[in-house]
DNA sequence: GTCTATAGGGGGATAGAC
DNA sequence: GTCTATCCCCCTATAGAC
């Protein structure tokens, strides 16, 4: 193994160590609460190394979001319907509070902080979160659309959009509940939520069938 | 009017000016993003006066939350059912983004920042928000409970609790949507939300009637 | 009660040796 | 690539004149 390769490997290892350090700090302290000194301490590397691997704090968080999103995609089995989707996301909201070391769960927990910190408007990490948020919404919408068989395209599209909007609101809402420490049985409400949305879909489909 | 009275009046006026200054800053920048220097500048008073009226930043935000909550209570007409309640809270989520000067609407917008900033765990303002959040939840629960006539008490209680949990999640979720800048027709989804929850209630009531 | 000046501490970022 | 020392700015909070 050449010297260059060795250096490269060490670099990759350090980079990952830094990302995991910033993850563990970010889920507890958010963006502003996480200091570069913290990250250096937790990762075991000096602060100079952190700045060698990442241009600045902003870029560090951009790459953190990318890293988490990647892990999330890999670790998330494809779902078949809305019920399964809601169960995954809402139960995972609880997990995001309990198991903060899970990058997949932590992603959304960190992201919501960015949604609310309006003063971070120009912050690239915030923009990255919003971008991923949009991507997720689109993919959920098209997934749901495939679940309405034998329905005119425009109706299915509208229905899928509505369910995606409401599903997103519910998911975010239960994340708020988790963050606020509300005493909530997330499994139970994942089911109830699915019941509510499914009955809404049913009545909408019936309505269109009558036209 | 005595000198003492005059001084007292001036004090009350300044205090209110400071509270409105911190309100306008807080909805834009959150807790950490709002600096005491900002507050002084916007209120037109020197920073020394701010510290004369309020012990510290923490206490300033505690009183801001109390102030907003008070205005919110006064300005909110009593609602009669879940549909009306959802419409008020969800439509107002949109307003919280549009009309930031409205203390009633701003309250929830500011509060959610506290929910997510876990590192503010010991912060009295965060605790005050969570306290008010609980109070609201209780009052919503007991309001809903009165809307289920001719139902056994325990069933009505469970139903009211479930609807309050889901209503809160939806409301918070749409506040997230507003903060994230999602393109959402809040009026429309307030209706759909009410449809979904009402049909859930209907099926639960039917279920219990059969037993 | 109002105002100014400043102490005191912390955080982001860089320089430069190794 | 790693590490240390340090600069510089901003923020909370206080001291003390008026």
- With CB atoms and an 8 Å threshold, state whether B117 touches A113: yes
Q: Are residues A173 and B165 in contact, defined by beta-carbon separation less than 8 angstroms?
A: no
Q: A122-144 as b/e, with b when 16 or more CB fall inside 10 Å?
A: ebebbebbbebbeebbeebbebb
Specify whether B27 is located in the same domain as B115: no
Considering only CB atoms, B118 lies closest to which of A117, A162, A179, namely A179
Q: How many domains does chain B fold into?
A: 2
Considering only CB atoms, B116 lies closest to which of A173, A179, A189, namely A179
pLDDT > 60? residue A6: no
What distances in angstroms separate CA A138 from CA A134, A143, A164, A171, A203, one per listed residue?
6, 9, 9, 15, 24
Tell me which chain B residue has its CA closest to the CA of residue A25. B119
Specify whether B108 is located in the same domain as B23: no
Q: Please name which of B129, B10, B137 lies closest in space to residue B65, comparing C-alpha atoms.
A: B129
Rg (CA), chain A: 20
Specify whether B28 is located in the same domain as B77: no
Range of the domain at A179: 62-210
Residue in A180, A187, A190, A199 to test binding to B, most B beta-carbons within 10 Å: A180
Position A100 scores a pLDDT of 64
Specify whether B67 is located in the same domain as B49: no
Specify whether B125 is located in the same domain as B47: no
Gap between the Cα atoms of B92 and B6, Å rounded: 38
Tell me which chain A residue has its CA closest to the CA of residue B188. A162
| Count of all residues that appear for chain B in the document | 211
Identify the residue with better confidence: B7 or A206.
Answer: A206
Q: Please name which of A198, A186, A202, A200 lies closest in space to residue A82, comparing C-alpha atoms.
A: A198
Specify whether B131 is located in the same domain as B168: yes
| Start-to-end Cα distance in chain A | 72
- With CB atoms and an 8 Å threshold, state whether A169 touches B179: no
Could you give the percent of chain B with pLDDT greater than 90?
68
Specify whether A181 is located in the same domain as A200: yes
- With CB atoms and an 8 Å threshold, state whether A196 touches B197: yes
Considering only CB atoms, B172 lies closest to which of A28, A173, A181, namely A173
pLDDT in tens, B20-43: 999 999 988 889 999 999 999 999
pLDDT > 50? residue B3: no
Tell me which chain B residue has its CA closest to the CA of residue A133. B180
Touching B: A residues 157-176, CB under 8 Å: 162, 165-166, 168-176
Sequence-distant (6+) residues with CB within 8 A of A200 are A163, A166, B192, B195, B196, B199
Gap between the Cα atoms of B144 and B159, Å rounded: 9
Specify whether B62 is located in the same domain as B153: yes
Which of B28, B54, B80 marks a domain boundary? B54
Q: Are residues A92 and A175 in contact, defined by beta-carbon separation less than 8 angstroms?
A: no
Sequence-distant (6+) residues with CB within 8 A of B134 are none
pLDDT in tens, A65-105: 999 999 888 887 889 999 999 999 998 877 766 666 678 88
- In this complex, which protein residues place their C-beta within 7 A of any atom belonging to strand C? A 34-37, 47-48, 51, 56-58; B 7-8, 10-12, 14, 45-49, 51-53
Specify whether B152 is located in the same domain as B102: yes
Residue in A31, A32, A118, A130 to test binding to B, most B beta-carbons within 10 Å: A118
Q: Can you tell me the mean pLDDT for A195-201?
A: 96
Q: Please name which of B123, B105, B103 lies closest in space to residue B114, comparing C-alpha atoms.
A: B123
- Packed helices B82-98 and B124-145: angle between N→C axes, nearest 10 degrees: 150
CA of A162 to C1' of C16 (A): 58
pLDDT in tens, A145-193: 999 988 999 999 999 999 999 999 999 999 999 999 999 999 999 999 9
Q: Are residues B118 and A28 in contact, defined by beta-carbon separation less than 8 angstroms?
A: yes
Specify whether B26 is located in the same domain as B62: no
- With CB atoms and an 8 Å threshold, state whether B130 touches A200: no
Write out the DSSP string of A176-193.
Answer: HHHHHT----HHHHHHHH
Identify the residue with better confidence: A207 or B8.
Answer: A207
B45 — alpha (psi -120 to 50), left (phi > 0) or beta? beta
- Token pair 């469970």 is found at B158
Specify whether B33 is located in the same domain as B66: no
- Nearest nucleotide (CA of A15 to C1'): D1
Q: Are residues A11 and A50 in contact, defined by beta-carbon separation less than 8 angstroms?
A: no
- Helix then strand then coil, in percent of chain A rounded to 5, is 80, 0, 20
Gap between the Cα atoms of B199 and A87, Å rounded: 20
CATH of the domain at B28: 1.10.10.60
Sequence-distant (6+) residues with CB within 8 A of B171 are A173, B86, B89, B90, B93
Specify whether B92 is located in the same domain as B1: no
């Amino acid at each position: 193994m050449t010297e260059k390769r060795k250096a490269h490997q060490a670099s990759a290892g350090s980079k990952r160590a830094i990302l995991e350090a910033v993850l563990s700090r970010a889920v507890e302290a958010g963006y502003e609460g996480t200091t570069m000194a913290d990250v250096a301490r937790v990762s075991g590397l000096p602060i100079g190394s952190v700045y060698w691997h990442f241009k600045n704090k902003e870029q560090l968080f951009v790459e953190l979001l990318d890293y988490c999103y990647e892990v999330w995609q890999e670790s998330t089995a494809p779902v078949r319907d809305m019920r399964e989707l809601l169960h995954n996301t809402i139960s995972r909201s609880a997990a995001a509070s309990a198991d903060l070391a899970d990058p997949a769960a932590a992603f959304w927990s960190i992201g919501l902080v960015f949604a609310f910190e309006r003063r971070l408007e120009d912050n690239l990490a915030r923009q990255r979160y919003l971008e991923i948020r949009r991507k997720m919404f689109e993919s959920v919408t098209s997934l749901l659309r495939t679940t309405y068989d034998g329905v005119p395209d425009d109706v299915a599209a509208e229905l899928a959009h509505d369910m995606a909007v409401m599903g997103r609101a519910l998911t975010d809402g239960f994340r708020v509940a988790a963050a606020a420490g509300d005493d909530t049985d997330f499994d139970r409400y994942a089911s109830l939520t699915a019941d509510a949305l499914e009955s809404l879909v049913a009545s909408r489909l019936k309505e269109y069938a009558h036209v």
